[in-house]
Amino acid sequence: MAKHNILGHEGEDIAAEYLKQQGYTIQDRDWHCGHKDLDLVVTKDNVIVFVEVKTRSGTEWGDPQDFVTDRKIRSIVHSADAYLRLNQINMEVRFDIISVVTDGGDFKVEHIEEAFFPPME
């Protein structure tokens, strides 16, 4: 597996553990349906949260959350819609980003709640 893929999986592991410690329940990890995918799907307080995890080995090119583009947001929203429909879920929905930055083996986690809202199309 490529080094960046390994780092990405480590970031998702760290994000999932962080969310558990914050009282979230993990519903799905690395969910796929055709070309649709979601990093983490969690619930807390009767809210379903779709979490995009961005992991980087440094911030010299910008913060990880800066790499969640408008195109990626649309993809996440379409994937979340498919997830809700397939699982017949009718809950309040939120979209978060978790930024994980590693520096010499230590990881810094930043949880951005309500990072974006579904775009109007």
> Looking at the domain assignment, is residue 117 inside a domain?
no
How many CB atoms are located within 10 Å of the residue 40 CB? Answer: 22
> Looking at the domain assignment, is residue 120 inside a domain?
no
CA atoms within a 13 Å half-sphere pointing along the CA-CB vector of 31? 23
User: Who contacts 108 (Cβ-Cβ below 8 Å, separation ≥6)?
Assistant: 100, 101, 102
> Looking at the domain assignment, is residue 118 inside a domain?
no
Backbone angles phi, psi at 71, to 5 degrees: -65, -40
Which pTM value belongs to this model?
0.91
To which residue do tokens 């990072």 refer? Answer: 115
The confidence band for 112, taking pLDDT boundaries of 50, 70 and 90, is: very high
Q: Percentage of the chain with pLDDT > 90?
A: 71
Q: How many domains does the chain have?
A: 1
Residue 45 sits in a domain whose CATH number is 3.40.1350.10
User: pLDDT tens-digit profile of 19-54?
Assistant: 999 999 999 999 999 999 999 999 999 999 999 999
What is the model's pLDDT at position 6? 64
Structural domain that includes position 87: 3-112
User: Who contacts 105 (Cβ-Cβ below 8 Å, separation ≥6)?
Assistant: none
